[in-house]
Structure 1
Amino acid sequence: MIGQVLGGRYEIIERIGGGGMALVYKGHDSLLNRKVAVKVLRQQFVHDEEFIRRFRREAQSAASLSHPNVVSIYDVGREQDIHYIVMEYVEGTNLNEKIKEHAPLQVEEAVHIATQICDALDHAHHNQIIHRDIKPHNILIGKNGRVKVTDFGIARAATASDITQTGSVIGSVHYFSPEHAKGVSQGEKSDIYSLGIVMYQMLTGRLPFLGESPISVALKHLQEDVEEPRKVNPMIPQSVENIILKSMRKNPEERYASARDMLHDLETCLLPQKLNEPKIAFSRQERMDEDHEQTRVMPAIRSRRAADSEEEREASVEWKGLESKSGKKNSWIKPVVWFAVIIILLAAMWYGIAYVQKLIKVPDVEVPNVEHMTLEDARTKLGEAGLSASPIEYRFDDNVPNGIVLQQEKSGYKVKLHSSIKLIVSKGKEMAIMQNYKGMLWETVLSEFQAKFNPDQIVKKEVKSDQPAGTIIDQIPVPQEEYDPKTATFTFTVSKGQGTVEMPDLVGMKESAAIALITKSNLKIDEKNIQREKSYFPEGYIFKQWPFEPGAQVDPGQEITIWVSTGLAEDAVEAIKSIAVSPTVEGQNTAVKITVSDAKGERDWKSEDITSQTHYSVPVVVSKKTNAVITIYKDGQPTDSITVTYLDAQRAQQESTFSEGLPSANPSGTGHQPSGGTAASSGKPPAPSGH
């Protein structure tokens, strides 16, 4: 799939994920010049006509959803046996990865994420779309923190077609609702149950039901009660636990009536007056009825009164026996014993009361000042003092960065140990989300922005493009990026149409590269426009172009003729000239440039800085009519030149070696005859330099 173009516009770049029914790729929309996500149906489902029909119908229905917390669906299409859906591409991670790295999440963060998911579900349910596969893997979190729910419509399409594999239900068993596990009809309340499991996992770091097989997990959804979240994580407020327990009731009638009702509780659960609300209670009449119907074997009950009478009679006989033996002289013993017992009991009670008072007495501690600290540091400092940060209120502030404590209550006061201290934390500057203006007319967008922002915040850049003149083809900030409305600069790249194009310099380029450059420049070339003949350029290189010179302004679509070399002309000789160049002052930096003028024309061959003598092998092409002249520039001034004649080049080929020792200065610019050294024709024609 990589590199394939779907629908004539969506180029597949790389695979970024996949599931049981589809693979997900990152793609590029060439028409609107934006990144997209392309979901492609797996091959094993492409021949199921009923599934494909419902898959496309539900995907198109999901495309009607328009909500900031729902991944937008742009297009649905088919390319031969490939069925695909084009969606919004979200840069960031998914909730599953976040839970793996940071669970359990902070209560405020988990509630914030769940609120956005619930808002998306409420919008979908109002449009008669049931997700049926809510799980952390399908919750995307963008770099700006916005939550996006994906896979709308696809899960519904799968269940609508009753897709089974050897009789099993396809889905994510750990997030099943009981009615899903039974295989009965599912509705909005199934999504609410799955969201409750996602909240449970975010706040406890584990799933409510685990088992050795999918069947055992599904049975636990049907039969077992979930362990209360506060037993796993005592930091969870009672109001938040109530939401989880209500959304995860096995009887759908006991869950929230709608996502809107659950959303209302999520939005208010962290208010101070709701944090410690009573634990939610559910009807247990059914369980009581079942208990009453069970038959129990009860042990026989002995009459307590009879037993007490018997013991009293025995004690009376024994006491009377003692009295008869001791006589009147020992009658004082009984009152003394009772008095001692009473004194011991009173002493024990006094010490017990004192001990309990010592246990229940809570010491006072001074509340430290945590203003201007980060929230994490503030929690640590309050924790060291035996206090906790709760509740936490967030406010926008233009001058204080995000996450810094703005205010606190009771700073410097003494409060009871383990008390909660309210903090007000900065959310930083109030940011806005950039909309997508690509493809819109500049004049329309300009009117909108002039009504909201200062003129110096709006920047227009005009470029040539295939888009109609006045169309916005790019923007900064990019779509969905956050920006500060007070300080942001908005840069719009606007098309000014194709206009004219600059004729490129093709001489010295390879044939394939020249043809590609002509096409890229919106010019035209056909096979009939390619002439081939011998020249002074290596085989396959361009040595002439017509009818436009390099740099000329040309209308798009003009035909270009090029001449391609089929090899060196008969009177051409190529050789490699060895030269040595020394710096102006040994050890000090000298800027050296070497130019060549030969049968191929004039060109810059080499430019670099040297500090010591450097040897170069310069390729040249010489003809009977044109010598080769190599010119050396030092620090921008011509200092030496070497002339290679036709006879020099022939001799170099015959002898296989020829060299030139370059003197330190040659102001006259005259050529030098070979004086030993090495130089030889290259085994393969050198590629042209300077192009």
Structure 2
Amino acid sequence: MDTTLQDPLIGHVLDGRYRVEARIAVGGMATVYRALDTRLDRVLALKVMHPSLATDASFVERFIREAKSAARLAHPNVVGVFDQGSDGGYVYLAMEYVEGCTLRDVLRERGALRPRAALEILEAVLAALGAAHLAGLVHRDVKPENVLIGDDGRVKVADFGLVRAVDQQTSVSTGSVMGTVSYLAPEQIEHGTADARADVYACGVVLYEMLTGAKPHPGGTPAQVLYQHLHEDVPPPSAAVPGLAAALDDLVARTAARDPERRPTDAVGLLAEVRAVRQSLTDEQLDAVPPAAAPDPAGAPVGSEDRTTVLPRRASAVPPDAGATHHTSVLPAPPRPADGSAGRPRAGSRGRRSAPAVVAAVLLLLGVGLGVWYVNSGQFTRTPGVLSMTEAEAKRAVEEAGLDWRIARDYSETVERGRVIATDPGRGERIRGNGTVTITVSRGPERVEVPDVTGVPLAEARARLKDAGLAPGMVTREFDADVERGSVVRTDPEEGTERRPGAAVALVVSKGERIEVPDVVGESEGAARQRLTEAGLKVEVAPERVFSEEEAGTVARQSPGEGAVAAEGDTVRLTVSKGPDTVEVPDVEGMAEDEARRSLEDAGFEVKVRRIFLTGTVFDQSVDGGERAPRGSTITIWVR
């Protein structure tokens, strides 16, 4: 039987907004569903905490706090967090839905990856982690399962924020968390602490696995793996894949060093190192096919058009094929004569046409020979590597190579101001001996200032944030008598704070003045409506009236009730009374006590007995027989 049919959330609408359509995955802490946001008509991923965890108030509090932090990471390589909420016993996160697969799926299907593909995926992961580390967040659970590869080629890191919330709930004593154990840094195991360097360590393990197709510390139990993390270095990947470049061994060794002091301090520093290593490798080293790679369905080796080589390529980051000038050129054949006499020279024309043909052939051969000589002669040189140099050092290196230079400037989150981000052509590419190299120098991180949107209506505030290059983030609402309902009270971060472009800014919006709802039960409908309207509230009257103890035409009940707190413009729903539900009182005078009691109770009344003697018959009743009284009211009978 399909277990999804037994999932009570399938088809359910959470919080009146998110319709759960299908279950995607089940983890130790939560279940992930594909859902439809019925309000915005978009597909998203809904991560719902397991009910056993949702009952822990402190866990839920940490979950919400970390979800808010994750929502601020508006980065193209981070799975976005849209919303957080709860519905009954369900606590959930609404997140970006990525159509595709995980890096674990790719490794399971393909085995080891070519170095070029592995480094490109790692760069995307580090870009995401770098944004988190700059924001003061540590992922703590970097592993192939949390690296998503979309069908559109984008690489995204998932589960930002959740890891900190579930950190104390995660056990390493069972096989169910074997995947997580494989990527834990030694200090996480030994001391239970983790900073940005723990994420760096996990990236080193993931890089080793992408290059070799296997984890560096195999073991049958979590305890064996933990022991190896503490006491054994991650082996060089070339030991498993002979022929890998030494620079890749060095990169893995630095990244996955057991001593955190020997690792790069955070993902930003590691990203710069990874880019430098990739620039230092030749095309042959980058495209080397590992023995563990599985052939693709067409039989070509992995990497010939590896689906994991997915990042958008800029000329400065991934140079075009340097060997393009060595490709065989196919010259177009001369057109056939219109009369179809190709190869049959006409009589008398042989002598006249043979000489020009011979001359043309000789010239063609000479042209081809000169072209080959020109391409392979000293007319071309190679672009020197100047990445991370200062502007002055880069100019000097280009001049020493006999080339001219041109300076361009761009922002960079990872390369400090004044140092080289990229060159065009890229390092090692062929260029004419008198050519010009464009050197792109870092301006440092691009930052924009959060504008002042206090007192501005929400829609306009969102527009101003977008105009400033920022992303409107999560919206919360609170009472504020000084700010008009629907306008912004404050932002987080506050106005004037500098943030990178695209960063999310949370908005707190006014619900208006706090109003205590007056009690209008028992008042006429008109009087109740007037009192509520004067208090600044709207009134809605239920279409159907109900029986109640209140007089007909007066308010039987209200929602919200007396003493509730509402905002100006909120709606109070009134239900009007039809009056008491009355029934005819049976005449029980002259009946025995037991018979009279049964008759009254069957009619819907409570019965109270007053006796003059211990037993006897009824000689009087509080409401005469044949009259009407409210159903459920008490009728007193006197017995003698």
TM-score (ref. length: structure 1)? 0.41
| Bigger RCO of structures 1 and 2 (CA < 8 A, at least 6 apart) | 2
Q: Return the index of the structure with the highest Cα Rg.
A: 1
TM-score (ref. length: structure 2)? 0.44
